[in-house]
Amino acid sequence: MKLNLVRFDFWLNEIFDKEISQDPLINFKICKQSDPDSVNLEYFKSAHIYHILAARDEVPKKWHVSDEFLKSCDNLICVSTSGAGYDPVDIDACNRHGVLVVNQAGANADSVAEHAIGLMLNVKHRISESDRLMRAGRTTTREDLMGNELRGLTLGVVGIGETGRRTAFLAKAFGMHVLAYDPHLSSEEIQNRFATACGFEELISKADIISVHCPRNSETMNLFNSEVFNQTKTGATFISTARGGIHNEADLYTALKSGKLSGAGLDVWAVEPPSKDNPLLLLPNVVSTFHTAGVTHEARFNGAKNGAEQIRALANGIKPPRIVNPQVWPLVAEKIKKITLN
């Protein structure tokens, strides 16, 4: 018996469909979002694997992997996300139902790291600010737009996984001193990732630029709030290419408006896309992008190819390399054996 794989008809690099369609162990169905829910639900009820978009606001709530969803799809054994994130997936619910969750960690790490550095350069050199003034015909003297170099500044990296590691590596090339906080890694491992380990409060108080690269979960939601922003160096810069919700947007606005922070580069938002009247978008010292840090041709290809390879490995009973909840793997491995032997 083959494993049934479903995904919706969102844009995905063609390498995913090409590789999956060639696998003799997989039945592959692309569901149309325009079809009635009742039609799609029938496909999901027989699905073993669900390949889902990683960004929460791009997946309708009814198709998020929740406890309720899993109760109606009791054949499901694996959820595969299209990127490093897994916001539309309730990991605790998957653990309770014995469903494996895999992501594509590292596939877009270079793209996101480059974007983070780009935001730092943009904010510190006031590139977008200059562009906006020129287009509006409001330029005065060049000195009114005087910025700062990155060389010699201290970068604080919060979360030094694949993206954080590559951001730290690039920052070193610019002559920055790099501190990193990651409670899941040893000081020695952080040193191997081009940074000096320190506590969260020390990083916040010493960093000239704070760059966020941690996942969004119960530990990190609202991590950056008024209390934390008040502990930063006066004039520090805040950068986030991680996930919306890790920083409190209202508190960030207050810190920027008061001058406690000198600027911010934001690729992620509590609601995506943010409303055009979001107060942060009205500040001249905020550089904003639409969750596009990891949206490059290279990253999209890598994510699609890695996703297909992981699913094909799973169909062959091989443990995938990028598992979010490894404790359920033994149970899922047994389920795969039973399915494929029938």
The residues that are catalytic are: 243, 272, 291
Beta bridge partners of 6: 29, 50
Estimate to the nearest angstrom the gap between the alpha carbon of 264 and the chain centroid.
18
Beta bridge partners of 101: 79
Do 319 and 78 form a contact (C-beta atoms < 8 A)? no
- In 3-state terms, what secondary structure has residue 275? coil
Residues 6+ positions from 2 with CB-CB distance below 8 Å: 24, 25, 26, 27, 315, 340
CA–CA distance, 254 with 259 (Å, rounded to integer): 9
Residue 300 C-beta-side C-alpha neighbours within 13 Å: 11
Which residue in this structure is represented by tokens 């609601």?
Answer: 271
Q: Which of 272, 332, 293 minimizes the C-alpha distance to 83?
A: 293
Look at residues 192, 162, 197 and name the one whose alpha carbon lies nearest to residue 180: 197
273 upstream amide cis, omega within 30 of 0: yes
A 10 A CB-CB count for 63 gives 19
Which amino acid is it at 60?
Answer: P
Q: Is 188 exposed, middle or buried (0-12, 13-18, 19+ CB in 10 A)?
A: exposed
